[in-house]
A and B are shown apart, each in its own frame.
Chain A
Amino acid sequence: GDSVTQMEGPVTLSEEAFLTINCTYTATGYPSLFWYVQYPGEGLQLLLKATKADDKGSNKGFEATYRKETTSFHLEKGSVQVSDSAVYFCALGSNYQLIWGAGTKLIIKP
C-alpha cells in the first residue's frame, strides 16, 4: 500500500542554517504531496503542497519539489529562524485519506 518515509528527528540547527528534511513515498499513480507543520501548542496546518511531477510547492521560505523519478518530496529552506522550530509532517493524498510520515522535529538554536 501507499506509504511515506520521513527523516528521523530531532534535527537541530543554528539560526540561518540551510535546512533539508527528507521525505520519500511509495504510491500507485501520482498522488498529491503535502507538508504539514505543527508549531508548539498549535494544531497541524498545511505548509505547502504539490499535485504533479516537477511541481514546486512553496510557502514562508520553504520549498519542496515533487520528484517522480526519485519518489521524493524533500523540504528545504535556505535560512532557518528560531520561529521555524516545529514538527514537520510529510503526507500523500490517497483517495479520501492522507498517508502520513512519522514527523520530524526541528529545533533551531539562536
Chain B
Amino acid sequence: GAGVSQSPSNKVTEKGKDVELRCDPISGHTALYWYRQSLGQGLEFLIYFQGNSAPDKSGLPSDRFSAERTGGSVSTLTIQRTQQEDSAVYLCASSYQGSPATNEKLFFGSGTQLSVL
C-alpha cells in the first residue's frame, strides 16, 4: 500500500486477555519500529526491526510483550495477559534503511488505540 497500515484501529479488551496488533509497513522498507503513546505523553520506544531480526527490543515493558516480523514485511505486536496500564495508542513506523541519524524520515501508521477494561 501507499502508507503504513495498522490494524485494528481500535481494540477494547478485558484485563487478562491477549491481544495482537498488526503493522503493514511501506513496501521495501527494511526498518520497522513500534512505539507506545499514552494519553498526553510522548512516544515510548518499544522495539526496532531490521528485516526480520530485532537488534533492539530494550523498550518492551515486560515479558508479556513480544513482537515478530516475517518476510521482512508485516509485524505483529502481542500483549499477553493485558493489564489496564497497557491502555495506550500503539504506533508503528517504517523507514527505508533505519538511519534517522543520517536524515532519513520515518513514516507512521495511524496507530491502534488499545483500551483494557
Give chain A's interface residues, CB within 8 Å of chain B: 31-32, 34, 36, 41-46, 49, 51, 89, 91, 93-98, 100-103
Nearest CB in chain A to that of B50: its residue: A96
Query: Which of A31, A41, A42, A46 is in CB contact (< 8 Å) with B101?
Result: A31
B90 within 8 A of A: no
Top 7 closest pairs, chain A to chain B, by CB: A93-B100, A102-B42, A93-B101, A44-B108, A43-B108, A43-B110, A96-B98
| Residues on the A chain within 8 Å of B43, using CB | 89, 100, 103
- The residue that A43 contacts in the complex, of B4, B100, B104, with Cβ under 8 A, is B4
**A49-B91 contact in complex given A43-B110, A96-B50, A97-B45, C-beta closer than 8 Å:** no
B25 CB within 8 Å of chain A: no
Interface size of B by CB at 8 A reads 26
Given contacts A43-B110, A43-B111, contact A32 B56 (CB under 8 A): no
Contact check, A32 vs B100: say whether CB atoms are below 8 A apart: yes
Kindly identify which residue among B41, B101, B108 contacts A96, using a CB–CB cutoff of 8 Å. B101
B:54-76 near A, CB below 8 Å: 55-56
Q: Which residue of B lies closest to A29 (CB)?
A: B101
- Whether A34 contacts B91 in the complex (CB less than 8 A), given A46-B105, A102-B42, comes out as no
* Residue among B41, B93, B101 having the largest count of chain A Cβ atoms under 10 Å: B101
